[in-house]
Amino acid sequence: MRDILITLIIFGSLPFILKEPAIGALMWVWVSVMNPHTQGWGFATQLPFAYIIALATMLSMLMSRGPRNLPLTPVSLLLLLFVLWMNITTPFALLPGPSWIQWQKVMKIMLMSFVVMMLIRSQRDIVRLVWVLVASIGYYGVKGGVFTIRSGGTERVWGPTATFIGDNNALALALIITIPLMYYLQQGSDKRWLRHGLTCAMVLSALAALGSYSRGALLAIAAMGLFMWIKSGRKVVLGSLLCLLAPLLLAFMPERWGERMDTIHSYQDDSSAQGRLNAWRMAYNLACNRFIGGGFEVSDGAIFAQYAPNPLAVHAAHSIYFQALGEHGFVGLAIYLALGLATWRTASAIIRLARGRAELRWALELATMSQASMVGFAVGGAFLSLLYFDMPYYLMAALIATRILVEQHVRKTQPQTPAARIRQPPSARHLQ
């Protein structure tokens, strides 16, 4: 039954995609982030839904008369530069075979990220994109939260197999990124049942993140929650809610969960933590020795034997930063950090321009909660190999479109002098 439902939704969306390319972008985000085919049991798990959606979206773009060019902003240009640098490092990869396989996967993600940036342009599409992200990850948050309650927190919560979020730690981080977006949608809704539903989804998602037994997730959710409280216009209400829920959620978890979290303080005695430190040192040594890094997929015994302090402890990078460093060198890491900074500054620009304007409140709140998601990803990503996880790139697309709309609105409502028009910000000079 699940397979039939998923198949009907995918193929039923094709006429709408051909009519409106933005729907194709939204369907792609749903398929790539949620991976709904993994929830089936039979034939749907083997069908190339992502390829079908991508093909239909590309065809719709060719037939559409609307704007189809990439907005030229600091974020999109840095992402282009990052992709270009990956294409430079890959031919010189230490492991050509596995590297080219991973290159194909990453380039598909990056191509469709640019497509989403090209197609998401209106406020309606931006909000729909946020809804798709929330629904895609929130499904696993609600499901995982209920599972945690039923198991009493004794069993770990895992994501869909063979996906970016299949690992318990990765799912936890995805949930942490999503919770601020849930809060954004909740604050913007005028329907009581929807607000209550999103509140339940946030609580269950937080419980699922804790139920993953991820220590990095605990640090990330603490950083994200603190940032949300600092930026909230309702500090007393939100602070009271956090102070009420946090002890209840932590008290619900069993003793062995607390014992695992306590290893954060004694990482010297934890084999997993030591393995990550060994992988980080390997990535640093590799980058120092090779200007362009080692290329994709450097978690190999032969490479660790040459660059790691402990050649026998072969681990994945377990860090977006050291993953970028080991695979693409210091240049790749610098570009990636600059991309994160540009995204943060884009959100800050939206907040600055939208503050005090009731008609742009939606943009201000989205930018603020996007920054909360970025804080969670920056902290949690320090312990996970999620450099190519596509959800942050789709959030970049939402911020790019939001900033362009906000700047256009400000220019229309505040007539500029000729000199001011010459000094338009880069995001305003996008291709039409």
In a domain, 369, yes or no: no
pLDDT (average), residues 328-355: 96
Tell me the pLDDT tens digit for each residue of 293-333. 999 999 888 999 999 999 888 888 889 999 999 999 999 99
pLDDT at 420 over 60: no
- Residues 306 and 416 grouped into a single domain: yes
Predicted confidence band of residue 343 (pLDDT cuts 50, 70, 90): very high
Q: For residue 250, which of 199, 202, 207 has the smallest C-alpha distance?
A: 207
**Domain check: are 144 and 236 in the same one?**
yes
Across 341-354, average pLDDT: 96
Tell which phi-psi region holds residue 214, choosing left (phi > 0), alpha (psi between -120 and 50) or beta. Answer: beta
Looking at every residue in the chain, the average pLDDT score rounds to 88
Residues 305 and 276 in one domain: yes
139 or 426, which is more confident?
Answer: 139
Tell me: do 303 and 428 sit in the same domain.
Answer: yes
31 lies in some domain: yes
pLDDT of residue 185: 95
Q: Can you tell me the mean pLDDT for 105-121? A: 95
148-168 pLDDT tens trace: 999 888 889 998 888 889 999
Together in a domain, 62 and 90:
no
The answer, yes or no, to whether residue 350 has pLDDT greater than 80, is: yes
Per-residue pLDDT tens over the stretch 67-94: 678 999 999 999 999 999 999 999 999 9
- pLDDT value for 221: 86
As for how many domains the chain has, the answer is: 3
**Pair 163, 113 in one domain:** no
pLDDT > 80? residue 116 = yes
Judgement on whether residues 309 and 245 belong to the same structural domain of the protein: no
- Lowest-pLDDT range of 254-258, 332-336, 396-400: 254-258
**Distance from C-alpha of 233 to C-alpha of 236, rounded to nearest angstrom:** 9
Instruction: Identify the band that residue 431 occupies on the pLDDT scale cut at 50, 70 and 90.
Output: very low
Confidence of residue 249 (pLDDT cuts 50, 70, 90): confident
Give 371-393 pLDDT, tens digit per residue.
999 999 999 999 999 999 999 99
CB environment 364-400: b (16+ within 10 A), e (fewer): bbbbbbbbbbbbbbbbbbbbbbbbbbbbbbbbbbbbb
Residue 378 is assigned to a structural domain of this protein: no
Least confident window among 15-19, 233-237, 283-287? 233-237
Contacts of 313 (CB under 8 A, 6+ apart): 274, 275, 278, 279, 304
Percent of the chain with pLDDT over 70: 92
Burial class (CB in 10 A: 0-12, 13-18, 19+), 281: middle
Domain end residue (candidates: 208, 232, 265): 265
Among 244, 265, 286, the domain boundary falls at 265
Say what the pLDDT of residue 161 is.
86
Tell me the pLDDT band of 237, cut-offs 50, 70 and 90.
Answer: low
Q: How confident is the model at residue 432 (pLDDT cuts 50, 70, 90)?
A: very low
Q: Which domain holds residue 5?
A: 1-66
